[in-house]
Amino acid sequence: MAAVGTWGFSQPAVERLRSLISAGQHATDAVEEAMAEVEDDPETGRHIVGRGGFPNSGGVVECDAAIMEGTAGRFGAVAALRGVGTPVRVARRVMDRSPHSLLVGEGAVAFAREQGFTIEPNDNMLSEHSAKAYQEFLEKKQGVSGCDTLGLIALDKMGNITVGVSTSGAPFKSPGRVGDSPLPGCGLYAEHKVGAAAATGDGDKIMCHCPSFHAVQLIKMGLSPKEACHRVMDDIIQRTAPDRFFEIGLIALNVKGEVGAASSVDFPYTFWSQGKVVETSTQPPHSTLTDDGTEHFKTHAE
């Protein structure tokens, strides 16, 4: 049994995962429950998640969420979903009850309504903090820094592994913009008897590299989650000019309960393994100059 979450604010969610999994809950049920509690809390909206998250450029909160089990074909996601404070619950219904895997915009709203979710007015989705930030954006064109996303991975007693992600997306984004979070292989990926991974950061860039799929495939080849995450980061660095290197954090968990992470920024994350919930962090790669003057980036795994 084990669990891991992106960023320091995931600690209560990882604690919740520990409690649910220890009580015998399936990994999917545990991820949905723990993630929904964070999504529906306006205070965690400042971390770009769910209710209280930052709206798009038109002032509307649009959320993306996805959930994926290790079992092949078990995936569900929503994107640009309006009016639902717990989008991961809608993503779960997509996985369980829809013939489709990803629903967006008005289609996601219609499906949520059919499934019995209340579609709330946009004012209910804003918090005092996010409404004020939006007014400053309108008046001063002042943005908000940071690319937080909640990613959770859980391994239960039966060996089931599930990953979920949730975000309100880039603050003041264009209406309808979707990042990496709800895209399988990009924001999240899981494979039975192997492991799972989740990404956070600049979604417009992350989706071009499919880091979550890459990390799980490396674990499948025998690398530890830590080695896999750093190998993915190395690969991205090699294919990205240093001045265009973007914000990304990557977490992974294998079915042995081993955890790993890598990032391009100072990246705190929380994990539960061997009985304790611990918050730690991973550092960005550092550069050195080779004899010919070429800049070479090294991760802390090297």
> 166: closest CA among 198, 192, 140?
198
DSSP string, 250-276: EEEEETTS-EEEEESS-EEEEEEETTE
Catalytic annotation on 294?
no
The average pLDDT across 223-243 equals 90
In angstroms, the Cα distances linking 13 to 46, 75, 119 are 16, 21, 25
Among 122-126, 146-150, 157-161, name the one with the lowest average pLDDT.
146-150
16-41 per-position pLDDT tens digit: 999 999 999 999 999 999 999 999 99
Catalytic annotation, pick one of 44, 149, 167, 299: 149
Q: Residues of 72-101 as b/e, b for ≥16 C-beta within 10 angstroms?
A: eebbbbbbbbbbbbbbbbbbbbbbeebeeb
pLDDT for the residue 286? 52
Query: What is the model's pLDDT at position 284?
Result: 82
pLDDT of residue 297: 45
User: Whole-model pTM?
Assistant: 0.93
pLDDT at 79 over 90: yes
Contact 54, 172 (CB under 8 A): yes
How many angstroms separate the CA atoms of 213 and 192, rounded?
13
The DSSP bridge pattern shows strands 161-167 and 63-69 to be antiparallel
Residue of higher predicted confidence among 141 and 36: 36
Provide the residue type at 102 as one letter.
L
Q: What is the pLDDT of residues 106-123, one digit of tens each?
A: 999 999 999 999 999 999
- Per-residue pLDDT band at 274 (split at 50, 70, 90): confident
* Residue 65 bridge partners (DSSP): 78, 166
Rounded to an integer, the average pLDDT of 253-280 is: 93
What are the structural domains, with CATH classification, of the chain?
2-298 (3.60.20.30)
Q: What does the block give as tokens for 105? A: 């915009």
Output the DSSP codes for 154-188.
EE-TTS-EEEEEEE--STTPPTT---STTSBTTTE
For the segment 278-287, what is each residue's pLDDT rounded down to a tens digit? 999 988 875 4
Handedness of CA 201, 232, 159, 256 (dihedral sign): negative
296 has a pLDDT exceeding 60: no
Residue 8 has pLDDT above 60, yes or no: yes
Q: Specify the pLDDT at position 273.
A: 85
